[in-house]
Amino acid sequence: MTSSHKLMGTLERSSIAGPPAPNPGAAAGRAQPKLKISQLNFFYGAYQALHEVELEIAANRITALIGPSGCGKSTFLRVLNRMHETVRGARVSGEVLLDNEDALAMDVSQLRRRVGMVFQKPNPFPKSIFDNVAYGLRVNGTTRGAHLKEAVEHSLRRAALWDEVKDKLHKSAYALSGGQQQRLCIARGLAVDPEVLLLDEPSSALDPIATAKIEELVFHLKENCTIVIVTHNMQQAARIADDTGFFLLGKLIEFAKTETIFKNPAKKETEDYITGRFG
Amino acid sequence: MTLHRWRNFINAVMFGLTAACALAVVCVLFWILGFLLWNGGKSLNWAFFTQLPKPPGEMGGGMANAILGSAQIVCIASLMGIPIGFLGGIYLAEFGMGTFPFLVRYTADLLNGVPSIVMGLFAYAIVVRPMHQFSALAGGVALSVILIPTTIRTTEQFLRAVPQTLREGALALGANKWKAIATVVVPAAVRGVATGMILGIARIAGESAPLLFTSFGNQYWSRSLGQPTASLPVMIFTYAISPYDDWHREAWAAGLVLLAVMLLLNISARLVLSPGAPRN
């Protein structure tokens, strides 16, 4: 960590440099954000879970969202592909733009096809490995055999699972280990070729080796995909994320390049959390 | 020390009491089974499955028409009851919030407790009276009204047991709600749902009261579903209260056949639910 000063010199610090940064979310903002979130408020019934969140997520980068339990980071993630709509009493106000299109107004199936999601616990369907990966394609109307096979193989390769399952594609997905199941879920998400992939603590239920595999795989995915990952694990954020946002009590406290957040946070709350003083 | 012995004594007494009650249940069950096997077995022969009933006084004959009749009535009941119960159960499990679903759920539970003969009365009023005739159709309607509430509730229960994460997984891939239900939720619950249906069918197959004044009975083959139709449970009732020894023997045989069908349905339900059964 002695090189931190040298690193700092190369960091972009556009808006956190100006002392009272009114909009922490724009810190890492570059030319055309993949996702632009403004004035986002979120309510479960009368309880407000998110307050005025402003954030620009850049394309082909990995954005990590960190913060203590219950800070709203998972809620925020679920708003991005509107999974919150499955919860009764959930209400959202504000704006979410996906490539300048209003994500909150577009057809929800269309949105979820473009913005995929991987969940905390592996949730393969009680189907074969092949049918799991093919599910999204079939739902979206691709049923031609040859094309389907090709797409399934491609997705499994992208998820670094192909070599482990290529001989048992028609076995139940439940026969796989937890780590393999999670990579299968990533492959399933990749099969529909999403522009953005949301990962909600994807390795919290996995052992360190499986976690390392997931991290490596996610790291390579950003070539074709924009990644937003919620994690409890700060080391994980530090290892793989380009940008990191820190949530506390439903507010986005700080958003910047990962090095900045971890080595030179602008806000005291961020520093306290990073250094383990709470949370 | 005495307290310790007293506690041990109570422990032994309670163990003995519970074991004795359990034994009593098993004894009664085996008594009934043995009785049925003994008396039914003596009277059961090939003619029972192939011949029509003989008039009183003549020996022999069978209940071929009642076996077919029971099958017809149960089929009609299943064709009406299973789809309605199944789809209703999906509604309750997947869309069921608010007052209307609460009302449906409550009504289903209430219907479950209504004596089956009342269902017979209902079918009599809405089918037999307008058609001016007893019929297999009316019997089927009566039994389907018994089948619907159990199917609705078991379907709902097994669908609710499917983890929410599976639904979310399907929705997150761009499936709409119905697609997620049809392709992920129902397949995940299909074994439990099927078991519930089989047990429901087994239950209605043994019902006699609702058939007494709906399908009525028939000593001959019924030429259509719109005619009075014989069924095994009603045959047992008619034959058992008759004064003829030969008819009593036939009733025992019918009881045994009904029991065998129940056993078969129950075993198949267990096979469907067992972890060894093939899963998709």
- Over 70: is that where the pLDDT of A4 sits? no
ipTM score for this prediction: 0.83
> What is the predicted pLDDT for the residue at A14?
37
Report percent pLDDT > 70 for chain A: 87
Band (pLDDT 50/70/90 cuts) for residue A2 is very low
- Best of B173, B176, B190, B191 to mutate (most A CBs within 10 Å, chain A): B173
Q: Chain A residue closest to B189 (CA)?
A: A126
Say whether residue A142 is in contact with chain B using an 8 A CB cutoff: no
Question: Which one-letter amino acid corresponds to residue B261?
Answer: V
> What is the predicted pLDDT for the residue at B231?
95
Interface contact A112-B171, CB threshold 8 A? yes
Q: Nearest CA of chain B to the CA of A11: how many Å?
A: 35
Residue-wise burial string across A87-96, b where 16 or more C-beta atoms lie within 10 A, e elsewhere: eeebebebeb
> What is the predicted pLDDT for the residue at A76?
94
Q: Identify the CA nearest to A131 among candidates A83, A168, A163.
A: A168
Tell me the mean pLDDT in the region A162-180.
93
Band (pLDDT 50/70/90 cuts) for residue A242 is very high
> What is the predicted pLDDT for the residue at A276?
80
Q: What are phi and psi of A62, to 5 degrees?
A: -100, 120
Q: Nearest CA of chain A to the CA of B95: how many Å?
A: 11
- Over 90: is that where the pLDDT of A53 sits? yes
What CATH class has A4-19+29-274? alpha beta
Cβ contact B167:B160 at 8 Å = no
Cβ contact B35:B45 at 8 Å = no
- Over 70: is that where the pLDDT of B276 sits? no
Cβ contact A65:A72 at 8 Å = no
> What is the predicted pLDDT for the residue at B97?
81
Interface contact B173-A113, CB threshold 8 A? yes
Interface contact B175-A189, CB threshold 8 A? no
Q: Identify the CA nearest to A77 among candidates A42, A33, A27, A101.
A: A42
Average pLDDT, chain B: 92
With 0-12 CB in 10 A as exposed, 13-18 as middle and 19+ as buried, what is B268?
middle
Q: Which residues of B touch A128 (CB under 8 A)?
A: 280
Cβ contact B63:B254 at 8 Å = yes
> What is the predicted pLDDT for the residue at A24?
52
Q: Which residues of A touch B176 (CB under 8 A)?
A: 109
The Cα A85–Cα B152 span in angstroms is 26
Interface contact B184-A172, CB threshold 8 A? no
Q: Nearest CA of chain A to the CA of B97: how many Å?
A: 9
- Best of A85, A108, A109 to mutate (most B CBs within 10 Å, chain B): A109
The Cα B142–Cα B215 span in angstroms is 9
The Cα B215–Cα B228 span in angstroms is 5
Handedness of CA A165, A169, A171, A174 (dihedral sign): positive
The Cα A126–Cα B279 span in angstroms is 8
Tell me the mean pLDDT in the region A257-264.
92
Q: What is the pTM of this model?
A: 0.83
Interface contact A135-B188, CB threshold 8 A? no
Which residues of chain B are at the A interface, by a Cβ-Cβ cutoff of 8 Å?
A: 97, 163, 165-176, 179, 183-184, 187-188, 279-280
Nearest by CB to residue B279, choosing from A124, A138, A172, is A172
Q: What is the pLDDT of residues B122-145, one digit of tens each?
A: 999 999 999 999 999 999 999 999
Interface contact A192-B173, CB threshold 8 A? yes
- Over 90: is that where the pLDDT of A22 sits? no
- Over 80: is that where the pLDDT of B166 sits? yes
Cβ contact A175:A165 at 8 Å = no
Where do we find the tokens 């009904």?
Answer: B258
Q: Chain B residue closest to A109 (CA)?
A: B174
Task: Please indicate whether residue A23 or residue A191 has the higher confidence score (pLDDT).
Answer: A191
> What is the predicted pLDDT for the residue at A31?
62
The Cα A47–Cα A90 span in angstroms is 10
The Cα A182–Cα A184 span in angstroms is 5
Question: Which one-letter amino acid corresponds to residue B137?
Answer: L
Average pLDDT, chain A: 86
- Over 70: is that where the pLDDT of B28 sits? yes
> What is the predicted pLDDT for the residue at A29?
44
- Over 60: is that where the pLDDT of B239 sits? yes
Band (pLDDT 50/70/90 cuts) for residue B149 is very high
Q: Chain A residue closest to B188 (CA)?
A: A126
> What is the predicted pLDDT for the residue at A141?
79
Residue-wise burial string across A223-247, b where 16 or more C-beta atoms lie within 10 A, e elsewhere: eebbbbbbbbebebbbbbbbbbbbb
- Over 90: is that where the pLDDT of B67 sits? yes
> What is the predicted pLDDT for the residue at B271?
87
- Residue partners of B247: CB distance under 8 A and separation at least 6: B56, B239, B240
Interface contact A83-B165, CB threshold 8 A? no
Q: Nearest CA of chain A to the CA of B175: how many Å?
A: 6
Report percent pLDDT > 70 for chain B: 97
Interface contact B165-A123, CB threshold 8 A? yes
Domain residue spans of chain A: 4-19+29-274
